Amino acid sequence: MLVKTTGNGLSVPSEILTEMRRLDEEQKRAKKRLDEFKKAMFDAMEKENLQSFDGGTFKVSYVEAQEYKDIDKAKLREFYPEIVEECSIIKTKKAFIRITWRDEDEGANETSPW
C-alpha cells in the first residue's frame, strides 16, 4: 500500500512524495509546452483562415468564437424565475481548436478540446 492511514492522518513515504512532486512539476512543464504548441497551431489556422487540417494521425478543427446567452445569477436570485429572459446577458465564447487523435489502424479516437 502506497499510503496508510494512521487513525488521525496519513503516512506517506518520502520517496512517494518526492515522486509525486517530480511528476507534478513535469506535468506543469509539459502542459506549458503543449499550450505553446496549441497556440502556434491556433494562430496559424486563424491567420490562414483554415477551418480544419488533417495531419494523418491527427485532425485539428478551428472552432470560431461564439456569442451565447447566459443567466446572471445575481439578478435571478433578486427576481423570480419567470423573469429569466430579463436576467439574460450576452457573452462571447472564446474560439478554440479541437484535436482528434487517431490510432495507426484508425481504431478508437480520442478528442481533446482546447
Q: For residue 28, which amino acid is it?
A: K
DSSP string, 17-46: HHHHHHHHHHHHHHHHHHHHHHHHHHHHHH
Question: Which of these, 56, 83, 45, 89, lies nearest to 71 by C-alpha position?
Answer: 89
Q: pLDDT tens across 17-67, in order?
A: 889 889 988 999 999 999 999 999 999 999 999 999 999 999 999 999 999
In which band, very low, low, confident or very high, does the pLDDT at 106 lie, cut at 50, 70 and 90? low
The owner of cell 439578478 is 75
- pLDDT the model gives residue 62: 95
Task: Let me know: does 97 contact 58? Beta carbons within 8 Å.
Answer: no
- Cα(46)–Cα(34) distance, rounded to whole angstroms? 18
Q: pLDDT tens across 1-10, in order?
A: 787 888 888 8
All three cell numbers of 20: 509525486
Rg (CA), the chain: 23
